[in-house]
């Protein structure tokens, strides 16, 4: 707790990236999805909930009211989003796809109008203008028909002011992986084994299924149904929290619905639009591509 409170602050953090990726398309839900889009479907609710949990201050207790009070405080510090704060995308067919779904673009799905501008991918930036997080971009990314299934929070620390290893050290990161294979790990630089003074990327790792063998972790909706049965409101949105969430997103959604920003096309099975990578890079996110996660055998 003290480690997190002292180090996860604006003067130590470069950016926070919250990602939700699905490796399939609308899968028969196109009729519903085209009336909502990825921002309403995922970002405005699921990702914003995660943002609140990451950024909130310590509540007075674990009581549902105290936790939700702190979540609302976070949202009150966030300004409404503008068109320049987002990049939207829409997937197209991959002619080399291995499945029929992959060879079907979004507009080719039955129920989707040929001129649809509904985004199936979005990345947005927002800032929490309080003492802890001032100046730190929170980057929310979500999309369908991408290259993998993943949900995670990635807190990227700032570069070391003076790198004695010839600027070869990559950024340290605290990663909370929600799915698949739940884990919390700190990605860091260590001296390579042996006589060399070179550095390599490694991690301090807590993988739930490795540490707690035989543990049956419930799915998200299983947990929510149980909370409902038990009368626990901790993981449910309160009315004032919902109002703040819509205050942040509604002006943007109205402009997108009016066609003021066209989605960028990206191929089914890709990382998403190239413009999205440039967008997050301009916000300070550093992607090296050199780190390899090793699953325990």
Catalytic residues: 46
Record the tokens describing residue 60, joined without a space.
Answer: 């007075």
* Alpha-carbon distance values, 164 to 45, 134, 170, 184, 223 (Å): 43, 29, 13, 28, 47
18 beta partners: 140, 153
CA distance 279 to 64: 36
Record the tokens describing residue 285, joined without a space.
Answer: 């996110």
Peptide bond between residue 180 and the one before it cis (omega within 30 degrees of 0):
yes
Residue 105: alpha-carbon gap to chain centroid? 24
Q: Beta-carbon neighbour count of residue 126 at 10 Å? A: 21
């Amino acid at each position: 707790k003290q480690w997190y409170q002292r180090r996860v602050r604006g003067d130590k953090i470069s950016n926070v990236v919250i990602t939700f990726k699905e490796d399939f398309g609308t899968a028969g839900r196109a009729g519903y999805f085209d009336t909502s889009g990825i921002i309403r479907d995922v970002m405005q609710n699921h990702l914003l909930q995660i943002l609140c949990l990451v950024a909130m201050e310590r509540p007075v207790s674990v009581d549902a009211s105290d936790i939700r009070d702190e979540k609302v405080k976070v949202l009150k510090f966030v300004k409404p989003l503008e068109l320049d704060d987002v990049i939207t995308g829409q997937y197209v067919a991959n002619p080399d796809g291995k499945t029929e779904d992959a060879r079907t673009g979004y507009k080719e799905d039955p129920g989707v109008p040929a001129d649809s501008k509904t985004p199936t991918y979005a990345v947005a930036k927002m800032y929490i203008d309080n003492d802890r997080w001032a100046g730190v971009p929170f980057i929310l990314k979500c999309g369908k028909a991408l290259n993998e299934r993943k949900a995670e929070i990635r807190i990227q620390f700032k570069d070391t002011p003076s790198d004695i290893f010839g600027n070869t050290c990559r950024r340290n990161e605290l990663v909370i992986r929600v799915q698949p294979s739940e884990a919390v790990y700190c990605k860091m630089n260590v001296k390579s084994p042996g006589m060399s003074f070179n550095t390599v990327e490694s991690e301090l790792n807590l993988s739930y299924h490795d540490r707690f063998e035989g543990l049956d972790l419930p799915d998200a909706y299983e947990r929510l149904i149980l909370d409902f049965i038990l009368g626990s409101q901790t993981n449910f949105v309160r009315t004032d929290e919902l109002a703040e969430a819509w205050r942040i997103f509604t002006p943007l959604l109205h402009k997108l619905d009016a066609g003021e920003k066209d989605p960028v096309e990206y191929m089914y099975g890709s990382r998403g639009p190239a413009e999205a990578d440039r967008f997050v890079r301009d916000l300070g996110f550093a992607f090296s591509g050199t780190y390899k996660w090793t699953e325990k055998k």
